[in-house]
Structure 1
Amino acid sequence: MRATLLQIDVDQRESVASRRDRVAAMVRAHADADLVVLPELWPVGAFAAEDFAAEAETADGGPTAEVMSAAARDAGVWLHAGSIVERDVVGGELFNTSLLFSPDGDLAAVYRKIHRFGFDQGEAVLMSSGHDIVTARVPGTVLGLATCYDLRFPEQFRLLLDAGAQTLVVPAGWPARRLAHWRLLVRARAVESQAYVLACGTAGTHAGVEQAGHSMIVDPWGEIVAEAGPAEQALSAEVDVFRVDVTRADFPVLRDRVLGVPTPKPR
């Protein structure tokens, strides 16, 4: 499986509509990929909390969903379109919501971020928390969906593992000042889950917060397959999905779990 992470520079001088069109063109330019991944909240900026309400949209049929659906269909790729500020059509709540599109442009999975960042400000007070562990089967592997701050909560990744995840997809808007934590946590989630991690961050500075960039593709042994720098970049690599089963068979650490979590049954 060829994976491409699009590390988008979120510049607030660029309109959201213009950025949607620019990113859609980038997706279409990577039709050689099987899976394309975008960052967290790239339409508005992960730290641009003052714009969340104004830029909120629906997950199915909103402007970002429509543009990304068309881009996935045109490129013929699976597209994890990062996340958007979603406004729930029933209760009006805001969520940090990830969208996965099939090569036909169909909305294949939706994940509402469970762990909200901000410590009583920003996302933590403006958005509601999701509650569902979400996986999605794509050709050759099972994706487990998480977002940014979720990386700091390994129990969520254990639940994804138990749900069958083999490749963990983590869009993010991670601050540059905590780059060391990003690089550590992405590799830790790969090692403990014996899974690939595709971690796609943003570049640039938005709402005064410099972004870390350094999107990464990490294998089930925790080795970095590919890593971006701090600027906008397309990062591509071949992901050998069979290495997940090989790693878990050769070093069967997961079968020794004893803390009340059931051991995943062989598929």
Structure 2
Amino acid sequence: MRHSECVKVALAQIGSGTDVAANLEQIAAAATAAQADGAEVVLFPEYAMYEKPVVDGTFAEVAEPLDGPFGSSLAVLAARLGIAVVAGLVESNPDEPARPFNTLAAWSASGAFLGRHRKALLYDVGMFSESTYISAGDIAEPSLVRIGSTLFGLQTCYELRFPEISRRQARAGATVLAVLSSWVPGPVKVTQWSTLAGARAIENICHVTAVTQAAPVSTGHSLAVAPDGTVLASLGDAPALVTVSIDASLTERQRQADPRALAVDL
């Protein structure tokens, strides 16, 4: 079925820290600005609830179930503003309390819980050892949530480097890949971030909405990319918000014109 309507998606690049209440205030302010800008969906970064330059044992100390105080506050916020909210939080793990999940969770514009994605490919690179303190989620099925008429594929940070994840989500029907990140800063990391976002958009004929934490904990430079690789919007490294209009019919037309793009197995 062809969808003629567009969906307006806001990328809320915030700078989360270790004060969960202060982070929630940032989220509320950004969501309010997104709603005023006409957005129907607002995306917040990975670890929007609680963040530090390096993951450590304190993440387990603040972890909550999805219906805990933080998640419940996001549900209430979404319902109050009438805007869907997707954000990263630290989800408690009853089977292994010392190693919670790095989770993305989505709530509808009415505050209903839509789904979650527990980061499956953890960032164990160089001095970082996320898996020491965080449990990996299940990668067996693509993580998808439907917001309105748009099917979003949810990915977390490092998972953007693995094209198989995006391909599985696109094949499952996702037309927008929502990549929520706290992209670790370093030499050429901004170039890698933007290049990977563009590649995932082009090779899967989909939109990519990639939002990350602001500097200094992350690189900033959140961006949205169209299926043909056009950068629709981008930010600098400071806290900021931008709203983009995504036309679902553009993805449909391009996929119909190139039906082998998602079908070929080599």
- How high is the TM-score relative to the length of structure 1? 0.88
SS of residue in 2 equivalent to 1:30: helix
Alpha-carbon distance, 1:91 to partner: 4.4
For residues 1-267 of structure 1, the aligned pairs below 5 Å read 1-12=7-18, 15-31=19-35, 32-45=38-51, 47-50=53-56, 51-59=58-66, 61-81=67-87, 83-92=88-97, 93-119=99-125, 121-131=128-138, 132-177=141-186, 178-206=189-217, 211-254=218-261, 257-259=264-266
CA, structure 1 residues 185+28, in 2 after alignment: closer, same or farther (shift >3 Å)?
same
SS of residue in 2 equivalent to 1:36: strand
One-letter code aligned to 1:37: L
CA, structure 1 residues 64+247, in 2 after alignment: closer, same or farther (shift >3 Å)?
same
Q: In the alignment, is the contact (CA less than 8 A) between 2:167 and 2:262 conserved in 1?
A: no
% same residue: 29
Aligned-residue Cα RMSD (Å) equals 1.7
CA, structure 1 residues 229+256, in 2 after alignment: closer, same or farther (shift >3 Å)?
same
Alpha-carbon distance, 1:190 to partner: 0.5
State the distance in 2 between where 1:152 and 1:213 align. Answer: 17
State the distance in 2 between where 1:238 and 1:97 align. Answer: 26
Question: Unaligned regions of 5+ residues in structure 2, if any?
Answer: 1-6
Question: Unaligned regions of 5+ residues in structure 1, if any?
Answer: 260-267
Q: In the alignment, is the contact (CA less than 8 A) between 2:20 and 2:49 conserved in 1?
A: yes
State the distance in 2 between where 1:244 and 1:141 align. Answer: 11
SS of residue in 2 equivalent to 1:84: strand
Q: In the alignment, is the contact (CA less than 8 A) between 1:40 and 1:46 conserved in 2?
A: no
